[in-house]
Amino acid sequence: MKIERMNKGSWGKVRAFFDLTTTEGFTIKGFKIIEGINGLFVSMPSQKSSDGEYYDSIYASKELRDELNQLALDAYGTQYDQTLSEGPAEAAEEPSAETTEEAVPEPADNAMSENAAEKVQPLSDDDIPF
């Protein structure tokens, strides 16, 4: 398998469009790289049916999908994979031991935050505007 053409950009959750050429010489058009809640993944080509829903027009086994995901994300670029797979906490450098010791709050601060948490009341049905 080989990625033939890739158009990178940002169209809502779509990050790229690409075509795939198989070892047998078939070119399949319409693959998309989508940014989901768990990171980037490859979406199969799909068509809109008469009921208004989109259905995949290409089916692949789990193993083939995983291979295609890896191939497409490698072609998309490793800097995009690292940026999107790392959360904000992971992207930051780990603090040194000196910084960690200084960042430990005093017990008085903990008592204040516990009192503030106790004052927060849960929402009721009357708080919802609709």
Q: What CATH number is given to the structural domain containing 44?
A: 3.30.1120.40
99 within a domain of the structure (yes/no): yes
In which region does residue 61 sit, left (phi positive, over 0), alpha (psi from -120 to 50) or beta (all else)?
beta
129 within a domain of the structure (yes/no): no
Alpha-carbon span 73 to 12, nearest angstrom: 18
66 within a domain of the structure (yes/no): yes
Which range marks the domain in which residue 111 is found? Answer: 93-119
Q: Do 47 and 79 reside in the same domain of the chain?
A: yes
Output phi, psi for 40, to 5 deg.
-80, 145
78 within a domain of the structure (yes/no): yes
Alpha helix (H) ranges present in the chain?
62-76, 78-85, 88-91, 97-103, 107-119
Q: Do 67 and 114 reside in the same domain of the chain?
A: no
The residue whose two tokens read 């994979």 is 81
The number of folded domains in the chain is: 2
Q: What share of the chain is helix, strand, coil (3-state, %, to 5)?
A: 40, 30, 30
Per-residue pLDDT of the chain (130 residues; tens, 9 = 90+): 888 888 888 888 999 999 999 999 999 999 999 998 998 999 999 999 999 998 999 888 999 999 999 999 888 884 444 445 554 444 444 444 444 444 444 555 554 545 555 555 666 666 666 5
Q: Do 24 and 60 reside in the same domain of the chain?
A: yes
130 within a domain of the structure (yes/no): no
